[in-house]
Chains A and B, each alone.
Chain A
Amino acid sequence: MSTPHVLLGLLAGGPRHGYELKRAHDERMPRAKPLAFGQVYATLGRLERDGLVEQAEKDQDGGPERVAYALTSRGRVALDEWLHTVETPAPYVVSALFNKVVVALLAADADRARSYLADQRAAHMARLRELTAAKTAPGASVGDVVAADFAIAHLDADLRWLQATLLRVADLYREVHA
């Protein structure tokens, strides 16, 4: 998960409170799941424990929402390392779509797998249209476009796989039940 590093990145411009970090995260990552406040504070707690952030200023009455956090020099190094590290292309296939096709063939038959593939395609296409409309809407920010592009490219990859797999369902069924 990259949330700790995203928070380090958001602190690179200067100290911020937890709620500011949450707001900045949700604004910059428009199609990501919004961060929960609890997650922000828990992550900041771990980063502080590891010496990557420190409390910069604190109001008298001192609850966690009163604290502004700042990047430490170790935090800056950790952020820099992360930015220079290539993400390993996913070593395993992790997808409910893939699992569902195989299980449909094991537990039912080729028709069940096919009708699942057709329904999944319809759902993917509907989502793809929504995202395309969002990114082409007047006033869409570059951030919106880039986030929508990411989601669209992944849906498109799934759609190609759905289409190709449909052609292979009968063969896969025979293999699974050989």
Chain B
Amino acid sequence: MTPILRGSALTRSYGPTLALRGVDVELSPGEILAVTGPSGCGKSTLLHCLSGILTPDSGAVHYRDADLTTRSEADRSKLRRTEFGVLFQYGQLVPELTAAENVALPLLLAGTGRRAAREAATSWLDRFGVADCADQRPGTMSGGQQQRCAVARALVTEPAVLFADEPTGSLDTVTGETVLTEIVRTARERGMAVLLVTHDARVAGYADRELVLLDGAADPSGLGIGIGS
């Protein structure tokens, strides 16, 4: 199958820190790829480069036929609103908005009417068992409730690609499963591709394939530590 998303020879530094040193990655429609590896190996940086939030120092990111690295920020942010769902590792909800408003926001930005957006938001909150929080602001919700709300917000636009950075980090096993099962179901039913960043083998178990990073590069041993070191 032709990949829907492809990153080639991606590099990215933060000052003197080389966070990515030549990573190749491909995602097909409906495919779930786990990105794993020890803390600081470059997982979040890779996710940010592939979703157009960060520009790599070199290399290319192709979404369908377009090279994101040569597009304007306006183009890329439109793509993120319409085609991508992004779930950040930390702090994602708008603190001034209620849970339902947070989830409805991407739809409103995409031009959906208020009423339809609100209905969709409520139904997604319900799917993750946080419908009761619909009218609460993030500050009054538990960490896990906020996280489920953020997953709902990332899925509400029915994106073609979901970028999920530790989507179950603050969830207990069974609640985490609800979220992952819903992500898998959406991937299978609608062909949504998923980049699933995690340090947890049980979460990586939901993926079709795994890319292990070590120090900003693919680690062929899969152990997140250099063989022979």
Contact = CB atoms under 8 A, between A and B. Distances in A.
Interface stretch (B48-56, B130-138, B147-155, B204-212): B204-212
A132 B224 CA distance: 22
B58 interface: no
Given A114-B228, A159-B201, A166 B223 contact: yes
A111 B201 contact: no
Nearest to B38: A163
A162 B212 CA distance: 15
Interface residues of A, number: 24
Contacts of A129: 205-208
Given A125-B210, A136-B181, A136-B184, A131 B224 contact: no
A117 B204 CA distance: 18
B205 A121 contact: no
Nearest to A145: B177
A118 interface: yes
A100 B217 CA distance: 29
Interface of B: 180-181, 184, 201-202, 204-208, 210, 221-225, 227-228
Contact of B222 (A125, A131, A153, A167): A125
A128 interface: yes
A79 interface: no
Contact of A125 (B180, B184, B204, B224): B204
Summarize A's interface: helix, strand, loop or mixed.
Answer: helix
A115 interface: yes
29 contacts: A111-B228, A114-B221, A114-B223, A115-B221, A118-B221, A118-B227, A121-B222, A121-B223, A122-B222, A125-B205, A128-B201, A128-B202, A128-B204, A128-B205, A129-B206, A131-B205, A132-B205, A132-B206, A136-B180, A136-B181, A136-B206, A152-B202, A152-B205, A156-B202, A159-B201, A163-B224, A163-B225, A166-B223, A167-B225
Identify whether the interface residues of B are mostly helix, strand, loop, or mixed.
loop
B222 A118 contact: yes
Nearest to B207: A129
Contacts of A128: 201-202, 204-205
Interface in A150-168: 152-153, 155-156, 159-160, 162-163, 166-167
6 nearest A-B pairs in the assembled complex, by CB-CB distance: A132-B205, A128-B205, A118-B221, A159-B201, A166-B223, A156-B202
Interface string A94-136: 0000000000000000010011011001101100110110001
